[in-house]
Amino acid sequence: MTEYKQEQEMEIEALEAILMDEFKEIHSSESGLNTSNRCFQITVTPQDDEMEDSAIPPVQLALVFSHTENYPDEAPLLDVKSIRGIHVSDLTILKEKLEQEASENLGMAMIYTLVSSAKDWLSEQYGQDDAADLAEEEAAKEDEVIVPHGEPVTLETFLAWRERFEAELALERAKLMPESALTAPKEKKLTGRQWFESGRGRGTVVTADEEDVEEDEEDIDFEDEDFEDDEEDMLEHYLAEKSDSSAPPSRT
């Protein structure tokens, strides 16, 4: 076993011990890498101390790598894949970032360093706090959008509505009134002078023909304005009759 092979085996053992279930070996045909050497996949999730262990992370990616013949003196073969919620454009950016860091760490085992860098990047891009802030911003935008409902109210539409409403209200009131009130002719109300001249104001005996009128007398609605206009005429008429009745009969 060459020195490179030995160093590569030692790194794989260390990664298995540190990452445990997050680290696994996969077939080269599944890796997407152009190699027949051993390939490995590491599951990377954003760092979140508040998230429970049993909770499913909203975003997750797979870091796939394979040692080259002269690793770590040359960079490993790398690829990143989305397991959940990672945009393709972001995967391209992350891959370029990791390849740059690999070239800067030549000569030393670097896979765990690259995993840590991917975890930090994922936390910055898809962290829980950022996702919560983004959700709040979207909710605020929705609250700011005012969706109009119905037609705008103008003076013309209001007047038309009021006319319809008053007509419907009158119809409902008519439905509640008894039928007799709608069909009976309206009784003509006596003026003050007519009432006085009829004899009711002087206590005149009512004849049998006027009996029906007496029975309905209480139903006649007299209002003050009925007497106001004829008040002076009534007084003059009364005084004239009084004078005639008290005057001595003339001698022939």
> For 95-146, what is each residue's pLDDT tens digit?
999 999 999 999 999 999 999 999 999 989 887 555 555 446 555 666 665 5
Measured CA distances, 231 to 192, 193, 199 (Å): 8, 8, 16
Higher pLDDT, 25 or 175: 25
The pLDDT value recorded for residue 252 is 46
User: Which residues have CB under 8 Å from 239's CB, separation 6+?
Assistant: none
* Mean predicted lDDT score pLDDT of the chain: 76
Give the residue from 151, 92, 161, 149 showing the smallest Cα distance to 121. 92
Question: 26-51: per-residue pLDDT in tens?
Answer: 999 999 999 999 999 999 998 765 55
* Inter-residue long-range contacts of 132-136, CB under 8 Å, 24+ positions, other chains counted: none
CB distance 128 to 46 below 8 Å: yes
Average pLDDT over residues 168-174: 79
Average pLDDT over residues 60-70: 95
- pLDDT grade, residue 67 (50/70/90)? very high
Query: Residues for the chain: how many in total?
Result: 252
Q: What percentage of residues in the chain have a pLDDT greater than 70?
A: 56
The Cα 114–Cα 105 span in angstroms is 10
- pLDDT grade, residue 157 (50/70/90)? confident
Question: In the predicted model, is pLDDT for residue 89 greater than 60?
Answer: yes
Measured CA distances, 215 to 198, 206, 219 (Å): 15, 11, 9
Q: What is the CA radius of gyration of the chain?
A: 53
